[in-house]
Structure 1
Amino acid sequence: MSSLFIPPGHGHSVQIGELGAVFKLSGSHTGGAFSIVEHPMAPGTLGAPPHTHSNEDELSYILEGEVTVPIREELIQASAGSYVFKPRGIPHAFWNASDRPARILEFIVPAAFEKYFEEVAPAFRADGPPDINHIMQTASRYGLQMHIEKLGELAQKYGAPVLGGPAPS
């Protein structure tokens, strides 16, 4: 491994619907130890539907705005400067319920899952709903269990956005 400097605003990026993924450090930079992905989120954007990781832990640092994170039965409202630890095996989701943009840094341990974002991005089309089959197949390859069926419950209970659309009013 060698040192690396990434200035603000730099990094390879992909768009996953309304969620951005800006790759700051990948497993190739860290010997597979961890990766860091920045997620800019527009107001009312679903970052991820309920899901469970089999292979990695995630630590989110809220850079800007406020992010809602349900973990198990707890609903966390994380504002700028907050950390949220999401260990593997624990179902969670996240979204920006506010009317302002939000940005989080996602630390993924160990690395490799950052590649998921590149592979799932084509499932989100501007001209229609996301391709759920593509999402589910990609998730399965990465040991990610998607709990799409719980999204309606989160939308009703907490006003969570739905896949491919804004939060219900």
Structure 2
Amino acid sequence: MRTTVYGPVGPEAGHLSLMGPLTARTMLPAELTEGRMSIVEHYLNPKELAAPLHRHAREDEYTVVLEGRMGAMLGEDVYEAGPGELVLKPRNQWHTFWNPGTERARLLEIISPAGFEQFFQEIGQYYGPERNMDLEKLMAACDRYALEMNLESMPELIGRFGLTPPPEMTAGGG
């Protein structure tokens, strides 16, 4: 028998994953939408890069800014969005996003079809005590989720957009 959940999903619900600067909370998992979509809430601190340039082969992402600001690079185009604005990150499009502002950003990401929300849960387990990523495990997860990631893009993105380097870059790790 299938149990269906309806009604409000509060700030304590869902699976929370901590991945360096990026926080991901799965608010609506695939099993509640028969795989059609999932919803993940992201928090980014001021001047933090969420991810290196990357592209998805299987899903589109629709990001709504709830609080703060979001910078986004889609191909060569750069955008900035504020509360109430939506940014489409289509599959097969190189992209990244960050918080260009001085306050914490809160984003709602709709993923369609669902499934990629599990990537955040999986890689959240690969961070060590100093919040450093196990890169070998990260790249294996990228393969499983049909995600291409350009790790070499991080220094250029951080410099170009005046972002804060993650701890592993400032501690001589990259």
Q: Residue 19 of structure 1: CA displacement? A: 1.5
Q: Tell me: CA distance 1:156–1:120, structure 2 relative to 1, closer, same or farther (3 Å).
A: same
Match for 1:6: what amino acid? P
SS at match of 2:93: coil
1:130 and 2:144 are equivalent in the alignment: no
Aligned to 2:159: 156
Contact 2:21 2:166 in 1 (8 A): no
Q: Tell me: CA distance 1:162–1:74, structure 2 relative to 1, closer, same or farther (3 Å).
A: same
Q: Structure 1 length normalisation: TM-score?
A: 0.90
Q: Tell me: CA distance 1:128–1:56, structure 2 relative to 1, closer, same or farther (3 Å).
A: closer
Match for 1:5: what amino acid? G
Q: Structure 2 length normalisation: TM-score?
A: 0.87
1:38 and 2:41 are equivalent in the alignment: yes
SS at match of 1:47: coil
Q: Tell me: CA distance 1:15–1:109, structure 2 relative to 1, closer, same or farther (3 Å).
A: same
Residue segments in structure 2 that go unaligned for 5+ positions in a row: none
SS at match of 2:132: coil
1:118 and 2:121 are equivalent in the alignment: yes
Contact 1:6 1:24 in 2 (8 A): no
Aligned to 2:10: 8
1:73 and 2:70 are equivalent in the alignment: no
Aligned to 1:22: 25
Aligned to 2:143: 140
Deviations 1:19-49, CA, capped at 9 Å, x for gaps: 1111111110000000000011122222121
Q: Tell me: CA distance 1:164–1:109, structure 2 relative to 1, closer, same or farther (3 Å).
A: farther
Q: Which runs of 4+ in 1 moved over 6 A?
A: none
The count of aligned residue pairs is 167
Q: Residue 7 of structure 1: CA displacement? A: 3.2
Aligned to 1:60: 63
Aligned to 2:91: 88
Residue segments in structure 1 that go unaligned for 5+ positions in a row: none
Deviations 1:139-167, CA, capped at 9 Å, x for gaps: 11100000111122212222244444699
Q: Which moved more, 1:128-137 or 1:103-112?
A: 128-137
Contact 1:57 1:86 in 2 (8 A): yes
Map 1:87-106; keep pairs closer than 5 Å.
87-106=90-109
SS at match of 1:48: coil
SS at match of 2:64: strand
Q: State the Cα RMSD in Å.
A: 2.0
Partner Cα distance (1:56, 1:164) in 2: 30
Match for 1:74: what amino acid? D
